[in-house]
Structure 1
Amino acid sequence: MKFDHDPNSKLGLPFFSASFTRRQMCLTGLAAMTASALPAASMPDSKKITLAFFADIHGQLEEHPEMYWSSGKDEIVPAGGVARIAQQLKEIRAENPDGTITLDLGDTIQGSGHVVMSEGETMIGPINALKLDCWLPGNWEVIYGKKVLLETAAKLKAPAIAANMRDATTRERLFKPYVIHQAHGLKIALIGFTDPDVPLRQPPSFSEGIVYEETGILQPLVDEASEEGKADLVVLLTHIGLPKAVSLAESLKGVDVILSADTHERTEKPIIRGNTWVVEAGAFGSHLGKLELFVENGRLSRREWTLIELRAGQIAEDAEVKALVQKSLAPYRESLGRVIGSTSRPLFRYAPVETSADAVLADALLAAGGTEIALSNGFRFAYPIDTGDITENDLWNYYPINSRLKTGKVTGTQLLKFFERELENVFSKNTKRLFGGWVPRPAGLTFRFYANRAEGKRIVDMRVNGHPVEADRAYTITSCEREGDALTTLCRMRDVADVTLLEVDAHEAVRRYLKEQSPIMMGQPLRVVPLDISATVRSQFLL
């Protein structure tokens, strides 16, 4: 499809509002002529397709605290929940009953206590109640193994689409690579592509039996959907992160829209590359993305993007879906509601560099391991913990994988190389080198760095317990075990010496720490400090 735009505008953005095409601007002088006054032959054949989607809900079924900053200030308010998503989808469908397509872009059955304890079963009924058109498996959908993934897909009423997941033995695709959805007489190709780095990003045992293909498979599929499928619009559903989705928009031909997921980004405005729009709609069920595509006389004439904040008080909840959620969660209320600590300041993630919540987790590991340094993984998931009680539910949200702890010894040189690589994974200008989540969160170790420098030249002034790191000295370290990793690997750091697997796990370490240290008073940790970007930047893409 073709779309008028100004190729010289910054980031490929149109030089006009997303609501007006160049042709419409030229016709403003004819505003007095109503549509009814036009000859029948000149009446436009106008059709609207609405794409409504969410992603990275991470097992969050009900209303929860959420941090919003769209107004220019941070505020934590009640928001989200599948019942609120259901109500909003109902209203969107009512606006365009024959032209609305509803989608889930993955990371749905991981990220909370109840969903881990039920291996995703608690999500099935509520997600089915949303009456989605299709869904894309995310990088965490393999958490319970291939067998459970396929069983989950069979229980969900919406079909799964993923072009690049194959059975390791038969080499057959696990799911359809795309579907052709018909609406308003138009054919819309929905192509799915999930993260090919899953076997490296997640504990290796999770994706055993699955082979992932790279982006090279996409252009032939786009061409096939357009030519053999005779698609009028091509929509690519991706779970690879916003920077990589934008890179695909720069290289693929014939794609009208890329819906992005994985990085939990909130794109207030669409990112435009050539004729392709890229959008991402946050996480935890706190947002819903709505992209409207207007086709006139077979031509994509304009598009409108809305990132909807699902705030309590502004968006109602669907009563039937809310009751379904309550029923699904009932068996877990007592155990997950148990209070294990308290905090006098809000604890949250939402930053690629460092966060108050992760500093608490790293401190808990440090205390449990009795070492000089501890590392907590740079996870993205979990909504904020507001001031007051901290519960088992909060613990599972922040640590949905409960692993035993490991201790070992690493040299100063190893520490420097490890963090240089992790910073490259987060801030590389080459999207092919971006990998995983955010910067691992340290305790006992500090450093400053330049996000915009090359790998190997970013870090300055690395210290352990206030003393400059010595290249050849061995430092003791604590981190979590990853199922399937070699004993000598800690938090993706390889070749660690004198490794010991402890009896205590990450959850118990946090419980013990909270019992001793509550109320928590953690603010900005100031352990990993960027020198060329804001310390509180909330995106690894829009720096």
Structure 2
Amino acid sequence: MKLSILFLNDVHGYLFEHPELFHRGGEEYTKTVGGYARLAGLIKQVKADNPNTLVFDGGDTFHGTLPVVESKGEILLPILRKMQIDAMVGHWDFAYGPEHLERLDEQLPYPVLAINVYNKKDGNLYFPPYVMKEVDGVKIGVIGICATIVDKTMPEGFSDGIELTDGIDELPKYIEEVKDKGADLVVLLSHNGFPQDCELLRKVGGVDVCLSAHTHNRMYEAEKVNDTLIIQCGCHGSFIGQLDLTIENLEIEDYKYELKIVDDNFPIDAEVQSLVDQALQPYREYFDTEVGETPLTLHRYNTLNSTMDNFMLAALLDATEAEVAFSNGWRYGAPIPKGRINRMQLFNIIPHDPPVSVVELTGKEIRSMIESNLEHTFSAEPFEQMGGYVKRCLGLTVYFRIENPKDKRIMELYVGDEMVEPDKTYKATFVTEQGVPQKLGRNRKNLELSAVEAMENFLKKGIPDIEMLKTKTFKTL
């Protein structure tokens, strides 16, 4: 028997086609891909070829673009009901609070799974820990783990009334439980990230397949950790992974894996396209309104530095006359190709459109904040990696060594051309407490100006300087 598993992760609200970044040799280029209508067409095609197919969503589904954030995910429900998904897990899906995610889940024909999300009031699991599926006589136990960082590094509202673990202690119990219920195969659906999932699988046996999400890895081959196959499939719905398992005597005898680019090689599902068009109708003006031009492609696909975030932070500096600017190292956000920019693209850089904020920070605080972020990005302990990419900064230059221990990575730190002085105060601008934690600084205030307004005002002054957009704040030694 051949069992096909289709897996998409970290769609981040991109219900529509969008540019995606690719590489050819040493060059970057963009191509229009993705969208739920084409994903639905692809899923139908695979299921027609092999009815023994399961579909899973790795989460980061209900957040990431303006229409999805404004509707708190509600806009996706009619579309997701048509996607033939069997289960999901989450991370940014908690953005509107756990109770709201629970309400979304109740309106879907498949469950959110989590062995590691607990209700603080009674200590019970907030979501079901697993679901049992049976395909052509083969029983499959599907176990879920949501992102452990939801109550550790995300804004407080994400974890209102809940607490999360990394799932390592719980997993053996639920593997045993699904096997007691007759599971021939165990599938782990996890949003902890590829490094974290590899670490988990080194510690816990008994998982046949791990569907990993969170870190946006484009895995063109399935990897093995001990006896477990693990895959991850990029982001934004630009890719979907197909893992074909040959099952003989209720065991995996062979497998074939392909990371599929969701492009025009696959059909569009007309019904889902109609639902997408209906959902986007109130936002057509955003797509049609041009607000400026970029001299190069803006994207967030590099760990250390980002043209997209350099653009946003330059707009903050322009609006505030601060010396340095900070934002979180978000992974989500489709590229904006060289040329004209529309308003929807600006909103999708930072779809919650927070106010521009200012704060005074000492040199010591800046250094400590960057060191903490480097540890959360590059820690030798996978479960200590709790951020996205490196914190985005402009006006700052950081010379550092990745391999150094915690709090000892920064070799030299500059604001402008001057080395940072520990006791000197610097005027900083930022967006969200993920940019500058609440505990740091003095005279913190939000301006009567949103991030998107700042970017629009900045573009009105002309095409951004290309060298500024290419600025490399973080430099390895």
**Equivalences for 1:122-201 in 2 at 5 Å?**
122-136=75-89, 138-201=90-153
Q: Deviations over 1:339-388 (max 9, x none)?
A: 22211211111111111001111111122222111102100001110122
Select the residue among 30, 40, 52 that pairs with 1:86: 40
How many residue pairs were aligned? 475
Of 52-61 and 392-401, the range deviating more from structure 2: 392-401
Partner Cα separation in structure 2 for residue 147 and residue 175 of structure 1:
11
Report SS of the residue matched to 2:458: helix
Q: CA deviation at 1:336?
A: 4.8
Task: Give the match's secondary structure for 1:508.
Answer: helix
1:259 is aligned to 2:205: no
Name which of 198, 201, 206 aligns with 2:158.
206
Q: Which residue of 1 aligns with 2:182?
A: 230
Q: 1:75 aligns with which of 7, 29, 45?
A: 29
**Contact 2:224/2:230 (CA < 8 Å) preserved in 1?**
yes
Rg larger in structure:
1
Q: CA offset at residue 262 of structure 1? A: 0.7
440, 444, 447: which one pairs with 1:495?
Answer: 440
1:60 pairs, out of 4, 11, 14, with: 14
Q: Which amino acid aligns with 1:408?
A: V
Aligned CA-pair RMSD: 1.7
Are the structure 2 counterparts of residues 509 and 179 from structure 1 closer, same or farther at C-alpha, using a change threshold of 3 Å? same
Matched, 1:530 2:476: yes
Q: Does the CA-based 8 Å contact 1:342-1:520 persist in structure 2?
A: no
SS in 2 for 1:205: helix
The match for 1:113 is: 66
Q: Structure 2 residue aligned with 1:408, among 359, 377, 401?
A: 359
Q: Post-superposition shift, 1:173?
A: 2.3
1:3-35 CA-to-partner distances (Å, cap 9, x unmatched) read xxxxxxxxxxxxxxxxxxxxxxxxxxxxxxxxx
The TM-score, its normalising length taken from structure 1, stands at 0.84
Counterpart amino acid of residue 322 in structure 2: T
CA contact (8 A) 2:37 2:273 kept: yes
User: 1:519 Cα deviation (Å)?
Assistant: 5.1
Query: Secondary structure of 1:201's match?
Result: coil
Q: Which residue of 1 aligns with 2:228?
A: 276
Contact residue 444 and residue 465 of structure 1 kept, 8 A: yes
Q: 1:163 aligns to what SS in structure 2?
A: coil
From 185, 202, 208, give the equivalent of 1:250.
202
* Structure 1 runs not aligned, ≥5 long: 1-46, 483-488, 532-543
Change (3 A) 1:448 1:435: same
Residue 34 of structure 1 aligns with which residue?
none
1:298 aligned partner: 250
* Aligned ranges 1:463-474 → 2 under 5 Å: 463-474=414-425
Q: Is the Cα–Cα contact under 8 Å of residues 222 and 254 in structure 1 kept in the other structure? A: yes
Partner of residue 14, structure 1: none
Q: Cα deviation per residue 1:409-436 (whole Å; 9 max; x = unaligned)? A: 2222221121111111111121121112
SS at match of 1:517: coil
For residues 465-498 of structure 1, give each alpha carbon's deviation from its aligned partner in whole angstroms, at most 9, with x where no partner exists: 111111221111111234xxxxxx9622633123
* 2:192 paired residue number: 240
In the TM superposition, what whole-angstrom CA distance separates every residue of 1:143-184 from its partner, at most 9, and x where no partner exists? 122332122111112222222223332333222100110002
Kept in 2, the 8 Å contact 1:407–1:476? The answer is yes
Q: Which secondary structure does the structure 1 equivalent of 2:316 belong to?
A: helix
Secondary structure of the equivalent of 2:139?
strand
| C-alpha deviation, 1:70, in angstroms | 6.8
Secondary structure at the aligned position of 1:161 is classed as: coil
CA distance in 2, matches of 1:73, 1:189: 43
Opposite residue 297 of structure 2, the aligned amino acid is P
CA distance in 2, matches of 1:445, 1:110: 30
Residue type of the alignment partner of 1:526: K
Does residue 424 (structure 1) correspond to residue 370 (structure 2)? The answer is no
Q: Distance in 2 between matches of 1:472 and 1:259?
A: 47
- 1:290-330 deviation per Cα after TM superposition (whole angstroms, max 9, x unaligned): 11121212332112211111123x22212221122111111
SS in 2 for 1:206: helix
TM-score between the two structures when normalised by the length of structure 2: 0.95
* Cα deviation, residue 233, structure 1: 0.5
* Conservation of the 8 A alpha-carbon contact between 1:113 and 1:336: no
Separation in 1 of the partners of 2:460 and 2:183? 59
> Secondary structure at the residue paired with 2:334?
coil
